[in-house]
Amino acid sequence: MEMESQKLMEAVQNGDVSAAVDLLEQDPLLLDRIIVLGVSDTPLHAASVRGHADLVRELLRRAPRLASEQDSRGNSPLHLAAGKGHGEIVGELLSADPAAAAAARNLDGRAPIHVAAIKGRVDAVGRMVGAGGAGAAREVTDRGETALHLAVANGKTEVVRAVVGAVGGSDRAELVNWKDCDGNSVLHIAVAKKQIETIKFLLAIPGVNVNLINKIGSTPLDVLKQSPRDLQDMEIEDSLLNEGALRSKSIYPFDRDSEQIQLPQLSREAPTSPLLVSEKSPSKNKLPARKRANEISQHRSSLMVVASLIATVAFQAAITPPGGVWQSDYTVDENGNPVKEPHNAGTSIMAHNQRKEYGLFFIFNTLAFLSSLSIILLLVSGLPIKRRRWMWVQMVTMWIAMTAQVITYFIALRHMTLDKSESDVFPVLKDVTEVAVLAWFCLMGVVFVGNLGRVCLYYLRKKGYIKKKKKRAEEARALPADADEEEGL
């Protein structure tokens, strides 16, 4: 039997229909014994993966049960044919055993339609959905993913069109709004992958829900806002907003990080079901505290980015000062006599020619460098500096670093300009520099006054002065009403 099975397998692999038929005529029970003995790779597997449609028809005519046999990886012949995109063979296998073949799962938990969707086999997917209808399109993996989820995740837009086009009516909207184990619909995945063509196609489907919330509380618009920014974001955002997309905080106006809130549990059967809110609402004191913590966290991130940038620029300016550095030593003249103004290779040319300006450049550049490094050190030190007053201290340090960097820039700019006695541009540059510096200090003054006002307001609220004024105003508004009541009595 083993010899005959091997000869049959060789004939199938070579696509030799006549040789295979002769072997089967000589031993009509050969295929039945292969099924009973549980051979992993059957002749039908070999014929399906190699695209031998005539052999597939002959094998199925003699032993239809081969269509449901699985190999060592759990793949049925339909898995292999679907993965290879052999549409004609897929049709033959579905005709032999539509239910068992389409619903079989391999060791990865995927049905044949899932394999075809991942590979982008449009013809195979279309045949399977055409044979099984919406039920085939609703087949899910172990992670709750449909063929649409897998097609979008792998960028197979044509498969998405084929599946949606083959499913009609209410089943189409249900399929598009279906959620995987993470609560993501196909629109969530398309937005995360920045697939503009797929997003526009999905948004045009009647009944698509653009405001579904996944298990972490994000709508598709939230996914876009949380993803790395690129040039496609504006077009995607406009497409979503035109269809009424909202962020979760607009739909569910509570702090999602609060322990008092229970995130909505949306089932696949009712993807548009209303949000379920816990009876325990967050206290009025916890929400502002959470909001302040989020604001401080955002300020810390911004300070880290800006401080890193200033430190990089200041370091680069220190090792490559305006005018560059001397490329060779110059201590004696051609006759070997000492020169009046010697210099050594690697030293700054500006320090040799304009010592005063170089001194100012060095001081302000060092101030910007050390100030920015101080901020970085504080942010990464792990010290408990997350309170608002410490953030103000770091912001003041950042102002110092930025101001020092501005002064360094103008010193370098004036150094690289022609001498004032040789250029008519110098007076104009001098005026522009003075106006720019003055405008910068005015801007810094406005920012300083604004933050000083915030500090004062913070301490007034902390001490209770503003709250007392509010109470007095409320009492004053209540007095006329009380007086009217007394007159009525």
- Looking up residue 198, the CATH number of its domain turns out to be 1.25.40.20
Domain hosting residue 77, numbered range:
2-212
Each residue's pLDDT tens digit, 44-91: 888 989 999 998 988 888 888 888 888 888 888 999 999 999 989 998
Tell whether 253 is covered by a domain: no
Tell whether 223 is covered by a domain: no
Last-in-domain residue among 172, 190, 212: 212
Is the domain of 357 the same as that of 456?
yes
Six-digit token pair at 370? Answer: 């050390």
The alpha-helical segments, DSSP class H, found in 97-218 are 98-103, 112-119, 122-132, 134-137, 147-153, 157-166, 170-176, 186-192, 196-203
Q: What is the pTM of this model?
A: 0.52
Is the domain of 207 the same as that of 324?
no
Mean pLDDT of the chain: 78
Each residue's pLDDT tens digit, 354-367: 788 888 888 988 89
Tell whether 488 is covered by a domain: no
The C-alpha atoms of residue 19 and residue 11 are separated, in whole angstroms, by 6
451-486 per-residue burial string, b: 16 or more CB within 10 A, e: under 16? eeeeeeeeeeeeeeeeeeeeeeeeeeeeeeeeeeee
Is the domain of 197 the same as that of 299?
no
What pLDDT is attached to residue 286?
Answer: 43
Is the domain of 164 the same as that of 302?
no
Is the domain of 341 the same as that of 450?
yes
Per-residue pLDDT for 412 more than 70?
yes
Is the domain of 311 the same as that of 394?
yes
Tell whether 274 is covered by a domain: no
Is the domain of 431 the same as that of 309?
yes
What integer is the mean pLDDT of 273-296?
46
Is the domain of 330 the same as that of 457?
yes
Last-in-domain residue among 155, 190, 212: 212
Tell whether 237 is covered by a domain: no
Is the domain of 183 the same as that of 315?
no
Is the domain of 301 the same as that of 424?
yes
Is the domain of 182 the same as that of 33?
yes
Tell whether 225 is covered by a domain: no
244-266 per-residue burial string, b: 16 or more CB within 10 A, e: under 16? ebbebeeebebbeebeebebbeb
Is the domain of 202 the same as that of 301?
no
What pLDDT is attached to residue 467?
Answer: 60
Number of domains in the chain: 2
Tell whether 241 is covered by a domain: no
Tell whether 445 is covered by a domain: yes
Each residue's pLDDT tens digit, 416-431: 765 555 545 556 666 7
